[in-house]
């Protein structure tokens, strides 16, 4: 291959598609010839998950017959998303200029590949991904049951609502061509190891929309030639359950691409007043006190409001309180010196890198949302966990509550429990406990912060919160702990 030609590596996944393979391969051979007109060579990577029919045998026979460059690998046997991501990892090891995906059930017409590639080559600004869309004016979407059509449209609408972003017109299509750079950055940045079913496809679509540019090309979607669909209700339910999470991640990915996250440079005052709320702080510490014991590392201790309370818990031997901001650290050191906990607490100016010791509890209380790259941080935290240690993360919940207060505070994100769980697993933990805390606070925060445009918490507001909201929210938290609250609490330990 001369250097002015480009290489398209096309990744497909198969499970019992023997009756479709001959025709798909015949069409791929035509596509290969057409692509040569665009100075593009085609190579295939197929990930097969233990097909019990002749899929693999036929793939090899057809590739040889038609002179198609192809490699077939055994998949991890954990569903389509994992099969595709393992194929993409292999594609990244080739000199590919373009990486595509296609179904092997005949629903995508390989003859349309040149149109996808041409769009990729010619559209300006250059897209990071071209999506083969079933929903454009010139698309056709035939041989598909009404239920499947409705499902695809519903997914599209739900994703738009969850992300509040302009997305590709068909974010669940699996017929696409992407730049290797975009594929690599997705695989590096996003914790995908436990994405199930078809989730990879819309996660990647949302990632592209949040971090890069895309183009839509109409396709003629065909009926499945033969065999059976592997889509089922359970997979649809699992995908729907990730909607809130992907919505939050989408906006975080976008924030991470703004200079300084789009946060204002001026410091914030209201955090300090929260520290004066006796009742609020007791409530907060009460919510996770059962998981705190032994030698405690508190990362992002702020001005020490939680630190001194931790030190007074009967289960705690010592507290190492780390704070990276020098002004807050001074207040922290002063608060510790003033308190009866002085002998138990060691304040340190810095980040988690400031200690190499191991602890029985590592706590992030309202600090994980300030850390831009959370998974690398959690991996650092894992290194500081004794074998049976608890990692406790308490932080703001629900992207729908993200308001000006979060922005001026420099919050990269608000959490959902599923998202923290996925990040923690990616960092080597397993989840012990997961819940939402403070539902009434969530409503107050939504009304004040999102609707009312309140951008700082005045002492009067805080006093009202403490007197009226806290007593009710203490009672209501057990009822709403599974789905709603102003905060999340997730406790993990090192995976065994």
Asked if 15 touches ligand GTP (CB under 6 A), the answer is: yes
Q: Are residues 180 and 221 in contact, defined by beta-carbon separation less than 8 angstroms?
A: no
Give the Å distances, CA to CA, from 139 to 218, 286, 406, 424.
5, 57, 42, 41
Helix (H, G, I), strand (E, B) or coil at 218: strand
* SS3 state of residue 455: coil
Q: Which is nearer to Mg ion, 105 or 438 (CB)?
A: 105
CB of residue 42 to Mg ion, shortest distance in Å: 21
Q: Are 173 and 201 in contact (CB under 8 A)?
A: yes
Is 104 one of the binding residues for ligand GTP (CB under 6 A)? Answer: yes
How far apart (Å, rounded) are the C-alpha atoms in residues 54 and 48?
11
105 binds Mg ion (CB under 5 A): yes
Task: Tell which positions 188-217 bind ligand GTP, by CB under 6 A.
Answer: 198
CB of 102 to Mg ion, least distance (A): 11
- Residue 49 makes contact with ligand GTP by CB under 6 A: yes
Q: Does 173 bind Mg ion (CB under 5 A)?
A: no
Kindly tell me the burial class for residue 232, based on how many C-beta atoms sit within 10 Å of its own C-beta (0-12, 13-18, 19 or more).
exposed
Q: Is 106 in the site for ligand GTP (CB under 6 A)?
A: no
Residue nearer to ligand GTP on the CB measure, 83 or 205: 83
Q: Say whether residue 107 binds Mg ion (CB under 5 A).
A: yes
CB of 10 to ligand GTP, least distance (A): 12
- 433 is a site residue for ligand GTP (CB under 6 A): no
Handedness of CA 417, 421, 422, 427 (dihedral sign): positive
> 154 or 228: whose CB is closer to Mg ion?
228
Q: What is the dihedral of CA 486, 487, 488, 491, to 10 degrees?
A: -150
Q: Does 224 bind ligand GTP (CB under 6 A)?
A: yes
49 interacts with, out of Mg ion, ligand GTP, none, CB within 5 to 8 A per kind: ligand GTP
Nearer to Mg ion, 198 or 204 (CB): 198
Among 60, 89, 222, 230, binds ligand GTP (CB under 6 A): 230
Q: E strands along 343-486, which residues?
A: 345-349, 359-365, 385-396, 429-437
Structural element, H or E, at residue 24: helix 21-37
Smallest distance, ligand GTP to C-beta of residue 85, A: 11
* Burial status of residue 52 (CB atoms within 10 A of its CB: 0-12, 13-18, 19 or more): exposed
Within residues 132-151, the interface with ligand GTP by CB under 6 A covers: 148
Q: Of 223, 257, 192, give the one whose Cα is nearest residue 106.
A: 223
Q: How far is the CB of 247 from ligand GTP (least distance, A)?
A: 22
**Cα separation, 438 vs 481, whole angstroms:** 8
Strand arrangement of the beta sheet that strand 487-494 belongs to: 345-349, 316-323, 294-299, 359-365, 385-396, 487-494, 429-437
Q: Which stretch binds Mg ion (CB under 5 A): 70-78, 106-114, 162-170, 277-285?
A: 106-114
Residue 148: name its binding partner from ligand GTP, Mg ion, none (Cβ under 5 to 8 Å by kind). Answer: ligand GTP
Find the binder of ligand GTP among 80, 116, 397, 457 (CB under 6 A): 80
Given 43, 62, 105, 423, the residue binding ligand GTP (CB under 6 A): 105
> Helix H segments across 67-145?
80-92, 113-122
Is residue 167 within 8 Å of 206, Cβ to Cβ? yes
Q: Least distance to Mg ion from the beta carbon of 122, Å?
A: 29
In the bound complex, which residue of the shown chain has the CB atom lying closest to Mg ion? 105
Q: Closest separation between CB of residue 13 and ligand GTP, Å?
A: 3
Query: Is-cis flag, bond preceding 125, omega within 30?
Result: yes
| The only residue of 59, 63, 75, 179 in contact with ligand GTP, by rule CB under 6 A | 75
Beta bridge partners of 467: none
Q: Rule CB under 6 A: is residue 17 a binding residue for ligand GTP?
A: yes
Assess 109 for contact with ligand GTP (CB under 6 A): no
In the complex, what is the shortest distance from the CB of residue 52 to ligand GTP, in angstroms, rounded to a whole number?
12
Whole-number minimum distance, CB 15 to ligand GTP, in Å? 4
CB of 394 to ligand GTP, least distance (A): 37
Alpha-carbon span 366 to 295, nearest angstrom? 20
Q: What is the dihedral of CA 184, 172, 168, 84, to 10 degrees?
A: 20
Give the single-character DSSP code of 127. P
Among 107, 173, 179, 303, binds ligand GTP (CB under 6 A): 107
Q: Which residues would be at the binding site for Mg ion (CB under 5 A)?
A: 105, 107
Q: Which residues would be at the binding site for ligand GTP (CB under 6 A)?
A: 13-15, 17, 47-49, 75, 79-80, 83, 103-105, 107, 148, 198, 224, 229-231
């Amino acid at each position: 291959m001369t250097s002015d030609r480009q290489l398209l590596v096309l990744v497909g996944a198969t499970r019992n598609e023997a009756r479709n393979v001959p025709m798909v391969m015949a069409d791929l051979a035509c596509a290969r010839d057409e692509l040569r007109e665009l100075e593009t060579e085609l190579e295939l990577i197929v990930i097969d998950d233990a097909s019990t029919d002749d899929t693999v045998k036929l793939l090899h026979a057809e590739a040889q017959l038609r002179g198609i460059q192809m490699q077939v690998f055994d998949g991890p046997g954990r569903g389509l998303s994992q099969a595709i991501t393992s194929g993409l990892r292999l594609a990244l090891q080739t000199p590919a200029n373009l990486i595509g995906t296609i179904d092997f059930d005949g629903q995508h017409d390989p003859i349309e590949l040149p149109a996808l590639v041409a769009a990729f080559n010619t559209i300006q600004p250059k897209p990071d991904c071209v999506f083969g869309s079933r929903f454009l004016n010139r698309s056709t979407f035939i041989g598909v049951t009404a239920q499947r059509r409705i499902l695809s449209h519903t997914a599209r609408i739900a994703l738009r609502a969850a992300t509040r972003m302009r997305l590709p017109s068909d974010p669940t299509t699996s017929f696409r061509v992407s730049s290797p750079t975009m594929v690599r950055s997705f695989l590096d940045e996003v914790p995908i190891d436990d994405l199930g079913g078809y989730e990879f496809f819309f996660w990647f679509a949302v990632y592209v929309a949040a971090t890069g540019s895309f183009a839509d090309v109409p396709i003629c979607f065909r009926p499945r030639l033969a065999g059976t669909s592997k889509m089922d209700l359970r997979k649809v339910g699992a995908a729907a359950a990730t909607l809130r999470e992907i919505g939050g991640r989408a906006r975080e990915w976008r924030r991470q691409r703004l200079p300084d996250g789009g946060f204002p440079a001026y410091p914030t005052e209201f955090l300090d007043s929260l520290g004066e709320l006796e009742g609020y702080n007791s409530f907060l510490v009460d919510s996770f006190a059962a998981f705190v014991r032994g030698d405690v590392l508190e990362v992002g201790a702020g001005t020490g409001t939680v630190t001194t309370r931790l030190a007074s818990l009967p289960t705690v031997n010592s507290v190492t309180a780390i704070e990276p901001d020098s002004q807050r650290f001074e207040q922290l050191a002063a608060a510790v010196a003033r308190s009866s906990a002085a002998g138990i607490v060691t304040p340190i100016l810095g980040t988690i890198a400031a200690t190499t010791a191991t602890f029985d509890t590592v706590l992030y209380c309202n600090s994980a949302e300030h850390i831009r790259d959370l998974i690398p941080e959690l991996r650092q935290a894992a290194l500081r966990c004794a074998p049976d240690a608890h990692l406790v993360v308490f932080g703001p919940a629900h992207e729908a509550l993200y308001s000006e207060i979060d922005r001026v505070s420099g919050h990269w994100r608000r959490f959902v429990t599923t998202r923290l769980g996925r990040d923690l697993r990616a960092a080597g933990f397993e989840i012990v406990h997961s819940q939402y805390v403070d539902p009434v606070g969530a409503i107050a925060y939504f009304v004040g912060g999102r609707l009312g445009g309140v951008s700082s918490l005045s002492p009067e507001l805080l006093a009202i919160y403490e007197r009226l909201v806290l007593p009710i929210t203490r009672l209501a938290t057990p009822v709403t702990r599974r789905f709603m609250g102003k905060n999340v609490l997730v406790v993990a330990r090192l995976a065994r």
